[in-house]
Amino acid sequence: MSEFFIRLNGRLKQVKILDDQFIEVDDVRLSYSITELNHSKFILKINNNFYEAYSLKNSDGEDSIQINNVTIDLSIRSALQEKAYQLLSTSQINSEQATIVKSPMPGLVLKILKNVGDSINKGDTVMILEAMKMENEIKSNKQGKITEVFVTEGKPIEKNISLFSLK
């Protein structure tokens, strides 16, 4: 069985291909067949109803299909691809929320170079962490403003401790 997630004009449908005769769309079992007439024209048979379908490429690179002269925007993803898409979409929605940078290793906070309210660019060094007698620069992973510093200079810290947040 193959499982896919299909967005038709923005509406998500779960499609399971059960075998070469049956599919399930959102837990509804349907009989189907697809006959390819040429590289972009097909005949779809769904529960004994026939549909003439054309595969289209939009100017923005997205896919569309035209079924009985009705154009439908289309994207097809595996279950894993859909999960990644949803996580990325959520991440973009939450990009206005603060990002917390955590310590990659245990060590001593040697120096804090940026303060709350400072604007920083991606890659700017925010603090220096001493670990195993080496100085390690802790850098910003995005552009923004420091909203909070959770540690103080001269204090030891453990791995995965929140160091600072930025928005």
Please state the pTM of the whole predicted model. Answer: 0.49
Quick one: pLDDT at residue 93?
Answer: 47
Q: Which structural domains are found in the chain, ordered by start?
A: 2-86 (3.30.700.30), 99-166 (2.40.50.100)
Q: How far is it, in rounded angstroms, from Cα 146 to Cα 166?
A: 4
pLDDT in tens, the chain (167 residues): 789 898 888 888 999 999 999 999 999 999 999 999 998 899 999 999 999 999 887 655 568 889 888 888 888 888 888 887 777 766 554 556 778 888 888 999 999 999 999 999 988 999 999 988 888 888 888 888 999 999 999 999 988 888 998 88
Count other Cβ atoms within 10 Å, centred on residue 120: 19
- Which two three-digit tokens encode residue 112? 């804090």
Extract the tokens encoding 158.
Answer: 């453990």
For the stretch 113-117, contacts whose Cβ atoms lie closer than 8 Å and that sit 24 or more positions apart, written own/partner, are: 114/146, 114/149, 114/164, 115/146, 115/149, 116/146, 116/147, 116/148, 116/149, 117/145, 117/146
